[in-house]
Amino acid sequence: MSEHKLGLDYAIEQDQNDILKSYRNLFHIPKDAQENELIYMTGNSLGLQPKQTKNYINQELEDWANLGVEGHTEAKNPWLPYHEFLTKNMAEIVGAKPIEVVVMNTLTANLHFMMVSFYQPTKTRYKILIESDAFPSDKYAVESQLRHHGFDDKEGLILWKPREHEELLRYEDLEQILKTQGDEIALIMIGGVNYYTGQYFDLKRITQLGHQYGCKVGFDCAHGAGNVKLNLHDSGADFAVWCTYKYLNSGPGSLAGCFVHERHAHRKDLNRFTGWWSHNKQTRFNMRHEFDQLPGAEGWQLSNPPILSMAAIKASLDIFNQAGIENLIEKSKKLTSYFEFLLKQLGEDVIRIITPSNPQERGCQLSIQVKNADKNLHDKLTKAGVISDWREPDVIRCAPVPLYNSFEDVYRLVEKIRLSLALSKGEGTNRNENKPEH
């Protein structure tokens, strides 16, 4: 027995009972040429724009126009401490203490800066372990770190791979790698939620395992932040990085987040790259001081940050704060399980969901493998008003986001997938009239 029911009525009823239903109105929903709202399923790639974002940015433009350089201290939201206005809400979203979190730079840049501190290879312990289907930028980043330190980027890279005919990663296999090569691994760097499969890893388990073998452990949480309950502090990870333009709706290429565990907050022995923004705030502008490092994640900042981009982050974080991350995750679980329920009606011989079925091991995204499909299917869906993501050879990724996607969105999405597959409706849902015999 499923907790869900078929039919549009059920979807509409769920939306009516949704305590977060009004949040959709806070966002611009993209429309087609006829002004019909599109079914937007790519909040995992670029989150939608909050209607308030413009006002937040305008505030800074006005203060700049009226105050010039004085805006650093006199703006309504003074620019000097502007990043601090983001810290508390961001820390809450990723389950960290404020001292552990800072918004700065962009994602891959932060990953490199974290590796400057937490990838300290020696002659015997220099390898980096990543998941085999890591996001390309992460893979390129760790490979270049290996080369930077004079190691071979093939020999030095260890991949945690799925077993044959599987997509998801198993912890036993990670344990096995560590048992045999743990003392050669300097750093374990995993995507907290894998961008392709949507598998949400047990960050604490991976961290404990890594630390047991003397490895540093970091996570790229680009697909986790604002999507799952991360509990970064409790995970014990040494560091984490994430972007703010996916689930955190802060605009294309916006600034990124960075977490450094509290136990490193006051360390001066860690190698790091610094700039004037890593220096003690009190004496930062007495330009001739010896370097005096800021404690916590803030101590990894380099530059004075772009305020216009931070204003967009503030606009979005204020919405998260209002909605509450707990409420969002509760709705997300329901919305995604509904999505899963409807997809299963299409017939498991046609559709296979790669993403874990256990709600604890995923966020809102489902990665759907479609039998005999090619990019045609994705094109049909796009023509039908669905914005989704296609990964070769046969996977569609859809992420119903609890802030602005509705149960009706999900219902209509699955109906459009059904039509695009030319499946027949009603009983005998497994029938696929256009499907070749094999």
Ligand X SMILES: *Cc1c(COP(=O)(O)O)cnc(C)c1O
Q: Which pair of tokens denotes residue 37?
A: 């709202």
Which residue's CB is nearer to ligand X, number 223 or number 279?
223
Which residue's CB is nearer to ligand X, number 144 or number 372?
144
Q: Total residues contacting ligand X (rule CB under 6 A)? A: 12
Angle made by CA atoms 418, 421, 425, in degrees to the nearest 5: 40
**3-state DSSP assignment of residue 1:** coil
Instruction: Kindly identify the residues of this chain, within the stretch 296-335, that bind ligand X according to CB under 6 A.
Output: none
- Asked if 126 interacts with ligand X (CB under 6 A), we say no
Cα–Cα distance for residue pair 109/106, rounded to 1 Å: 5
- Asked if 135 interacts with ligand X (CB under 6 A), we say yes
- Asked if 107 interacts with ligand X (CB under 6 A), we say yes
Closest by CA to 230, choosing from 336, 138, 100, 344, is 100
Provide, rounded to whole angstroms, the least separation between the CB of residue 135 and ligand X.
3
Which residue's CB is nearer to ligand X, number 227 or number 332?
227
Peptide bond into 305 cis (omega under 30): no
- Asked if 138 interacts with ligand X (CB under 6 A), we say yes
Which residue's CB is nearer to ligand X, number 218 or number 296?
218
Q: Which of 52, 59, 77, 106 binds ligand X (CB under 6 A)?
A: 106
Provide, rounded to whole angstroms, the least separation between the CB of residue 240 and ligand X.
11
Q: Which stretch binds ligand X (CB under 6 A): 130-138, 266-274, 325-333, 378-386?
A: 130-138
Closest by CA to 189, choosing from 279, 111, 282, is 111
Provide, rounded to whole angstroms, the least separation between the CB of residue 363 and ligand X.
12
Cα–Cα distance for residue pair 178/411, rounded to 1 Å: 44
Q: Which stretch binds ligand X (CB under 6 A): 51-59, 77-85, 103-111, 424-432?
A: 103-111
- Asked if 115 interacts with ligand X (CB under 6 A), we say no
- Distance from CA of residue 384 to its chain's centroid? 27
- Asked if 195 interacts with ligand X (CB under 6 A), we say yes
- Asked if 224 interacts with ligand X (CB under 6 A), we say no
- Asked if 239 interacts with ligand X (CB under 6 A), we say no
Provide, rounded to whole angstroms, the least separation between the CB of residue 72 and ligand X.
27
Closest by CA to 72, choosing from 80, 83, 64, is 80
- Asked if 20 interacts with ligand X (CB under 6 A), we say no
Provide, rounded to whole angstroms, the least separation between the CB of residue 56 and ligand X.
21
- Distance from CA of residue 221 to its chain's centroid? 5
- Asked if 346 interacts with ligand X (CB under 6 A), we say no
Which residue's CB is nearer to ligand X, number 81 or number 253?
253
Q: Which pair of tokens denotes residue 385?
A: 């008003």
- Distance from CA of residue 264 to its chain's centroid? 24
Q: Between the CA of residue 103 and those of 30, 100, 297, what are the distances in Å?
A: 28, 11, 9
E strand or H helix that includes residue 203? helix 203-212
- Asked if 133 interacts with ligand X (CB under 6 A), we say no
Amino acid identity, residue 205?
Answer: R
| Cβ-proximal residues to 187 (8 Å cutoff; 6+ apart), any chain | 115, 118, 119, 128, 129, 142, 215, 216, 217, 218
DSSP assignment of 145-198: HHHHTT--TTTTEEEE-PPTT--S--HHHHHHHHHHHGGGEEEEEEESB-TTT-
Provide, rounded to whole angstroms, the least separation between the CB of residue 392 and ligand X.
17
Q: Which of 57, 103, 206, 243 binds ligand X (CB under 6 A)?
A: 243
Which residue's CB is nearer to ligand X, number 222 or number 342?
222
Q: Which stretch binds ligand X (CB under 6 A): 105-113, 114-122, 178-186, 280-288?
A: 105-113
Strands 239-243 and 185-191: unpaired
**Is 238 in contact with 212 (CB distance < 8 Å)?**
no
Which residue's CB is nearer to ligand X, number 131 or number 340?
131
Provide, rounded to whole angstroms, the least separation between the CB of residue 414 and ligand X.
25
Binding site for ligand X (CB under 6 A): 106-108, 135, 137-138, 191, 195, 220, 222-223, 243
